Structure 1
Amino acid sequence: MLVSFKWLKEFVDFDLSPERIADLLTMGGIEVEGIKPVGQGLEGILTARIVHIEKHPHADKLSLADIELGQKTVRVVCGAPNIAVDQTVPYAGPGVVLPSGLEIVEREIKGVSSPGMLCSEKELGLGEDASGILVFDGEVSSGVPLPQAFPYIEDCILETSVTPNRGDCLSILGTAREVAALLGVPWRIPEFDLDESSVPIGTKASIEVPDTDLCPRYVARLIEGIKIGPSPFEVRLRLARSGVRAISNVVDATNLILLECGQPLHAFDFSLLEDGKIVVKRCDPGETFTTLDGAERKLPENALMIRDGKRSVALAGIMGGLNSEINDTTSTVLIESACFERFGIRRTAKALGMSTEASYRFERGIDPDGTLWAAHRVTHLIQKLAGGTVLSGYLDVYPVPISRPPVCVGVAKTNSLLGTDLDGISMADYLKRLGIGIENATEESLTALPPSWRWDLEREVDMAEEVARVFGFQNIPLTLAATQSSADLTRENHRKIQTTKSLMNASGYSEVITMSFVSRQAGTEFVQDSSSELALINPLTEDAVVMRTSLIPGLLSVAKRNINFRWEDLKIYECGKTFTSVPGRELPREDLRLAGLATGSRYPDLWNMPRNETVDFYDVKGALENLLDGLSVHDVQFTPSKVSFMHPGKSADLMLDGCNIGYVGELSPIKAREHGFEIGIYMFEILLEPLFVQMRKERLFTPLPRYPFIERDLSFIVEEKVSGDVIKRLISRLGHDIIASVVLFDLYKGESIPEGYQSMAFRVRYQSEDRTLTDEDVQEVHSRIADALKNEVGAAMRE
């Protein structure tokens, strides 16, 4: 917001420079981004009264004006069309340098000497109007330097950056209130008197507010017999320096009071309102409306409209309508001063892609108790600028007054938060300076009553911040927080996560990062238990309403996007947390997981690589085995999986110490088609914490074997339900310390093999670390293994 320094001083007394006030506001939480001096360098410009005008003898479009400069009279050549006798205008004599850098010299124009010139707003740097000479209002002595005759011309503009929670500082009065609180001095509001007629407003106008949830308060006043015209120069200058374009005296008055007190206002041409009625209600379905800028807009659902007896005349809190705007013939105006529900205004403005001075303030919350005062204030100003008669009384629909709940503030807790040692009396004094009411004040606590203009004061910490702002952040001593030292477990965990990612990268997988928020369907689609969803209070979109319970939905979304762009050969993974609601606990359970997905070709499309081979179950299982080997975790078993969304014959569960830590395999074809995939999707998801617990911190190296090995094969028929992993573990267990490795090298189902059975062949390598094994040593163990296979898994040995 652009804040006039001299306008600010009208409401609070201080003797500080603009730079000092800027520092004060910035340290108080209202950042001042810049200070711009305006109206400087005009000391050589004098006020002049035009006493005589005659046409230029040699130019039809020029005039000769005799101007009075105190005790002397000067004749200048002027080409402005708006000059008239008895006007007070600015005069720049020879030697004066204008803000543009132009130096004035006496020169001859069409045969007539002109010792200087009369100036426009633009030439003086006081506005953009260059169509005519600047004409001052009221009685002003001639021959007086401009800054002396009009002290408001020299000023400084402070550009403040107001945070979204401080809508109360989007006005001159709001900023003055902050300055007064920070300095510990009083501030004041403008005083004025209204000259009202004896005709009550209720005899000519009425208000209905059916949708009070979107409009808690609506105030109206009526003025008859006004005359539309330009505003005085001081009003136009204040508006221009605040970034607002001057339009007419009535409209300028509403904008000036908006800047002064922060209350958006609107003036309707009362003669254009059907039935003299205002109705505040939601728009009709599919309704369109033409706003003041001439744009026809299709209104979003639940947009709040201001209507007369038959039609919409304004988009509430955002912009007026073209069908009720003030024009040159307007003689009666109805003034609107309302409090609209801020979130409703925000939704409508965002849906329409609009942002106005009014909507910007309504979205951040305005003072509901200030709407009536603002209505009186703007009525007084309109009557002053445009004349007219103010009808007695006002219309005020305010069925349920808005109040702020009290906040209990603990003295010890506030000091703990701030690192201060303030007593309750000092805290209460600081809060009172901000307009916050105090009740039940004791040495231990007090009750704070937020003022009507502060929507952001809801909690004890909010009040603690207010105490800190007034006390001064710079006055809070610098101290180190008292903490208890403990081991940095996150660093060790970070190292393990980085190791996991490096191993996945080594297997040819690329890391992706997806959102932790998913749709409600995705939140339950890939979980194996009935854990309840963890819904967001304020979701960003319909596709991000719950916290994720699995990493798989994010990977499928990434894969789908890539396949849509014809990049079908994918190997991707994500390492991140999932969130599960736990009954009886406030916070959810967070599990660190690793998930991967592979689809398309097994090898890159290179001349030396096999082609037409696609990834399968063993590719993703192999990536997991590489990971487990890299983490030195050797006790994980792969067992047939019954996960509902996985392919029943091409998936496995990972078991560690009897606990299921994840799954791997092909996504069920039915589920794949539901997500729009026409090719096989292979994926896995595992818990990382159980692996990290088993992970060895150091790798152990053993010397190369000194003694030769002996290999023997075992071939047998066994039921299909018996997995190779079970048999491999059984063989390793029975071989004690002389089995170096067990490898499944053949698996066959088909002819000569009974239905429901399979043929397996394992190659067992026997090797000792301390001697050369004999055939008798190997045969003894080999025979014991064969017998165990027959007894424990029903294997029938093949010759």
Structure 2
Amino acid sequence: MIVSWKWLQDYVRPALGPEETADRLTMAGMNLESIEPRGDDFAIDLEITSNRPDCLGHLGIAREIGVVCGAAYAEPAAAPPASAAPVDGVTRVDVDCPDLCPQYIARVIRGVKVGPSPEWLRLRLETIGVAPVNNIVDVTNYVLFECGQPLHAFDFDRLDGGRIVVRRAQAKEQLEAIDHRTYTLTDAMCVIADARRPVAIGGVMGGAATEVGTATKNILIEAAAFLPSSIRATARALSLHSPSSYRFERGLDPERVDWASRRCCELILQVAGGELLSGAATAAAPAVRAAEPIVFRFARVPRILGIDIDEARCLEILAALGLERVAHRPGVDSTWRSPSWRRDLTREIDLIEEVARIEGYHHIPEDATLPTAVVVSRPDDQVRQRVQQVLAAAGFFETVTFSFTADAAALLFEPPGSAPALQIAPAAGEYGSRLRQSLLPSLILARRENERRGTLNAELYEISRVFLGLDAADPATQPLRLGIASGRSFRELKGVLEGVAQRVHPGARVSARPLECPGFVAGRGAELLLDGRPWGWMGELDRQGHPSLAELKLREACTVAEVGVSPLVDIAAHERRQTPLPEHPAVARDLNFVLDDTVSWESLDELVRQSAGTALESVEFLDQYSGKQIPAGKKSYVLSLTYRAADRTLTGAEVDASQAAVLEAVERILGGVQR
């Protein structure tokens, strides 16, 4: 982000020069890339991190300078004079896709004179590397780089019907953009249209058909808010990235949209003349939800930072950053709401970091005398590491969630046989008052949050404790568990769990038996057994039938599992027997059985192992099928058997005898028929 030093001085006048001010910003966490003289000005190039879209304009940088340098900050009022003629008489705005464009503001200026921009405007744009075009386009660019809010000017007389329709593009609809390239759109993209055709790609680039030129007399100024994930997907799909899309992708201040529109009109009236119609054609913007209050405890500052920052100084810094103080208990804590432009401030630790950043990281002492000790790895730590390795290799991401749950969240999944949950008083804010009895509600909410942000295939797991009693000395009351939330099928997730168990001990066997649980789709829940002992449960979430899950509105199917870690620790301690690599070839045979629907894979697998004899090395599940070629009430299992002898090569007759024994046992005990 390149900013002009002279431009910044319109809003803040620090006592320091440009180099010293840039150094202060660097010490406050905003890296300086370069600073170069440009005539009587300086171009300052700063690295802006993705969590600070508020600093993608001169106003945001000026606000930061005001805080770190202790200088007064002020911004223009943006109050353009308007005529008595109402804008509603000449245009209107219809938003057909409020999910993609929640806010749209249009203002109309009549009688403008398009021409070159005045020198002051051209010089400021050239200082930051933007080529001047004409006075109308230059003002929209100026306001973009002033406050970070993108705008667009349409030639109003070229808008068919004189109105704006914000809608989804039609599949394969085409638009020639102002870069004079034609783009083919999809129905997932947002377009700005008139009564007949698209005239801009929403949030990305305007269209050539309504571009402002020397013949333009009347203009419509657009200021809008778009869904960041939609803009990101559109820009990527079209390989079309612009300063506007760059900002929309990161999420902008919803309260800045109208200010930017008014500011743009104010400057256009100054440099191009004309008459601003009164009012604005708007689509109803959703109410901006107030930020959740954040409690800032003064005692936490020295504990986290290692230095004591005076209470008054903490209050001064937070107020200077634009936070609203809701409550204050001297010597104890203060409660704040973050401003609309700082949505990255949501937790107490965020506020502590802001205090440290503004006070100066160089004040935090360096402790060079770090104690060292030999770390002894405990069995449960070793097991945990193996579990993490398997899940990471399978594409899962580890999450860390709070041990508390709200009452509504706990209803998303109630573990079989659970007792009333333990309560804490007072409640832990938004996180509720229940000590969780299952990891799954937290994982389900985490998966829903990922869906909301556009990640539909988040594969998540957590290893943490649940709370079943108050006696911390009794391991049974606070067991360590592994929870998984995945978009994979039941069988795929069971295979992942088998991989986890066999990574801990190669001889471990995971089996399942039917389990009916209110949170699972009927017939798609199972109790899991590890070497025949209860281990946990898994199933496919009932997203429509379960009231709490239906209210959550998960977009994609989700299979969950929760198992104990202590059974894994137990089998990890078992003696491991080393066997030499086989010297003789194996013989593989496939079998296909038709069985009753009630026969589980576990029962078939166990019977095959018992009846095949000592030459059987492994049994592998290949497929399950039920359909037109299978009688009603029946299903087909396909499995592969591997035979091998340690001291010789098996003959065909020996393998045939084992196969015959398997066929006879399955037919006699399970009523199976070979296909």
Whether TM-score is above 0.5 comes out as: yes
Q: Indicate if the aligned counterparts of 2:135 and 2:268 stay in contact, CA closer than 8 A.
A: yes
Instruction: Tell me which residue corresponds to 2:211.
Output: 325
Using the TM superposition, give the Cα deviation of residue 25 of structure 1 relative to its aligned residue in structure 2, in angstroms.
1.1
Q: Indicate if the aligned counterparts of 2:108 and 2:219 stay in contact, CA closer than 8 A.
A: yes
Q: Indicate if the aligned counterparts of 1:231 and 1:249 stay in contact, CA closer than 8 A.
A: yes
Q: Indicate if the aligned counterparts of 1:512 and 1:574 stay in contact, CA closer than 8 A.
A: no
Q: Indicate if the aligned counterparts of 1:749 and 1:757 stay in contact, CA closer than 8 A.
A: no
Residues 487-541 of structure 1 deviation map (CA, whole Å, 9 limit, x = unaligned) = 431799879999xx9xxxxxxxxx99934339xxxxxxxxxxxx99977723897
Paired positions, count:
498
Q: Indicate if the aligned counterparts of 2:204 and 2:235 stay in contact, CA closer than 8 A.
A: yes
Q: Indicate if the aligned counterparts of 1:650 and 1:665 stay in contact, CA closer than 8 A.
A: no
Instruction: Tell me which residue corresponds to 1:383.
Output: 269
Partners in 2 of 1:396 and 1:496 — Cα distance?
55
Instruction: Tell me which residue corresponds to 1:181.
Output: 67
Using the TM superposition, give the Cα deviation of residue 163 of structure 1 relative to its aligned residue in structure 2, in angstroms.
0.7
What letter is aligned with 2:297?
G
Instruction: Tell me which residue corresponds to 1:27.
Output: 27
Instruction: Find the partner of 1:516 among 395, 409, 417.
Output: 395
Aligned 1:635-674 pairs, distance under 5 A: 648=608, 665=618, 667-668=620-621, 670=623
Matched residue SS, 1:196: coil
Instruction: Tell me which residue corresponds to 2:18.
Output: 18
1:209 paired with 2:88, answer no
Partners in 2 of 1:228 and 1:8 — Cα distance?
27
Matched residue SS, 1:314: strand
Q: Indicate if the aligned counterparts of 1:414 and 1:461 stay in contact, CA closer than 8 A.
A: no
Instruction: Tell me which residue corresponds to 1:308.
Output: 194
What letter is aligned with 1:263?
Q
Q: Indicate if the aligned counterparts of 1:437 and 1:449 stay in contact, CA closer than 8 A.
A: yes
1:296 paired with 2:182, answer yes
Instruction: Tell me which residue corresponds to 2:4.
Output: 4
Using the TM superposition, give the Cα deviation of residue 461 of structure 1 relative to its aligned residue in structure 2, in angstroms.
1.7
Q: Indicate if the aligned counterparts of 2:621 and 2:639 stay in contact, CA closer than 8 A.
A: no
1:457 paired with 2:345, answer yes
The unaligned stretches of length 5 or more in structure 2 are: 398-437, 462-483, 497-501, 511-527, 529-534, 539-559, 573-580, 589-600, 626-637, 662-675
Q: Check 1:644–1:436 CA distance in 2 against 1; reply closer, same or farther (3 A cut).
A: farther
Partners in 2 of 1:583 and 1:496 — Cα distance?
19
1:351 paired with 2:351, answer no
Partners in 2 of 1:163 and 1:30 — Cα distance?
8
Q: Check 1:750–1:248 CA distance in 2 against 1; reply closer, same or farther (3 A cut).
A: closer
Q: Check 1:750–1:275 CA distance in 2 against 1; reply closer, same or farther (3 A cut).
A: closer
Partners in 2 of 1:542 and 1:333 — Cα distance?
41
Residues 291-331 of structure 1 deviation map (CA, whole Å, 9 limit, x = unaligned) = 22233323233322222223222211111122211122110
Partners in 1 of 2:59 and 2:658 — Cα distance?
90
Instruction: Tell me which residue corresponds to 2:356.
Output: 468
Q: Check 1:286–1:428 CA distance in 2 against 1; reply closer, same or farther (3 A cut).
A: same
What letter is aligned with 1:514?
A
What letter is aligned with 1:320?
G
What letter is aligned with 1:196?
A
Instruction: Find the partner of 2:280 among 388, 394, 401.
Output: 394
Instruction: Tell me which residue corresponds to 1:418.
Output: 305
Using the TM superposition, give the Cα deviation of residue 171 of structure 1 relative to its aligned residue in structure 2, in angstroms.
0.6
Using the TM superposition, give the Cα deviation of residue 415 of structure 1 relative to its aligned residue in structure 2, in angstroms.
3.7
What letter is aligned with 1:446?
S
Partners in 2 of 1:258 and 1:755 — Cα distance?
78
What letter is aligned with 1:35?
I
Q: Sequence identity of aligned pairs in percent? A: 33
What letter is aligned with 2:15?
D
Instruction: Tell me which residue corresponds to 1:94.
Output: none
Q: Check 1:363–1:653 CA distance in 2 against 1; reply closer, same or farther (3 A cut).
A: farther
The unaligned stretches of length 5 or more in structure 1 are: 40-153, 502-510, 519-530, 558-572, 595-601, 604-609, 618-640, 655-662, 673-677, 684-722, 725-742, 759-799
Q: Indicate if the aligned counterparts of 2:152 and 2:222 stay in contact, CA closer than 8 A.
A: yes
Residues 64-83 of structure 1 deviation map (CA, whole Å, 9 limit, x = unaligned) = xxxxxxxxxxxxxxxxxxxx
Using the TM superposition, give the Cα deviation of residue 221 of structure 1 relative to its aligned residue in structure 2, in angstroms.
1.5
Instruction: Tell me which residue corresponds to 2:672.
Output: none
Using the TM superposition, give the Cα deviation of residue 434 of structure 1 relative to its aligned residue in structure 2, in angstroms.
0.6
Instruction: Tell me which residue corresponds to 1:797.
Output: none
Instruction: Tell me which residue corresponds to 2:80.
Output: 194
Q: Check 1:370–1:668 CA distance in 2 against 1; reply closer, same or farther (3 A cut).
A: closer
Q: Indicate if the aligned counterparts of 2:59 and 2:146 stay in contact, CA closer than 8 A.
A: yes
Residues 170-218 of structure 1 deviation map (CA, whole Å, 9 limit, x = unaligned) = 0111100001011122111135653332222222122223433333322
Residues 235-265 of structure 1 deviation map (CA, whole Å, 9 limit, x = unaligned) = 2232233232221110111001110111101
Q: Indicate if the aligned counterparts of 1:650 and 1:666 stay in contact, CA closer than 8 A.
A: no
Matched residue SS, 2:84: strand
Aligned 1:504-653 pairs, distance under 5 A: 514-517=393-396, 537=447, 538=450, 545=459, 648=608
Residues 423-442 of structure 1 deviation map (CA, whole Å, 9 limit, x = unaligned) = 54332211111111111111
Matched residue SS, 1:667: strand
Partners in 1 of 2:68 and 2:278 — Cα distance?
39
Q: Indicate if the aligned counterparts of 1:11 and 1:173 stay in contact, CA closer than 8 A.
A: yes
Using the TM superposition, give the Cα deviation of residue 344 of structure 1 relative to its aligned residue in structure 2, in angstroms.
2.6
Instruction: Tell me which residue corresponds to 1:489.
Output: 377
Q: Indicate if the aligned counterparts of 1:652 and 1:665 stay in contact, CA closer than 8 A.
A: no
Instruction: Tell me which residue corresponds to 1:447.
Output: 335
How high is the TM-score relative to the length of structure 2?
Answer: 0.62
Greater displacement, 469-478 / 293-302: 293-302
Partners in 1 of 2:114 and 2:505 — Cα distance?
66
Matched residue SS, 1:439: strand
1:408 paired with 2:295, answer yes
Using the TM superposition, give the Cα deviation of residue 281 of structure 1 relative to its aligned residue in structure 2, in angstroms.
2.6
What letter is aligned with 2:395?
S
Partners in 1 of 2:379 and 2:101 — Cα distance?
54
Q: Indicate if the aligned counterparts of 2:79 and 2:262 stay in contact, CA closer than 8 A.
A: no
Instruction: Tell me which residue corresponds to 2:124.
Output: 238
Residues 131-166 of structure 1 deviation map (CA, whole Å, 9 limit, x = unaligned) = xxxxxxxxxxxxxxxxxxxxxxx2221111111110
Instruction: Tell me which residue corresponds to 2:323.
Output: 436
Instruction: Find the partner of 2:111 among 188, 212, 225.
Output: 225
Flag the structure with larger Rg.
1
How high is the TM-score relative to the length of structure 1?
Answer: 0.53
Aligned 1:603-752 pairs, distance under 5 A: 648=608, 665=618, 667-668=620-621, 670=623
Partners in 1 of 2:222 and 2:191 — Cα distance?
13
Matched residue SS, 2:220: strand
Taking only aligned residues, the RMSD between alpha carbons, in angstroms, comes to 5.1
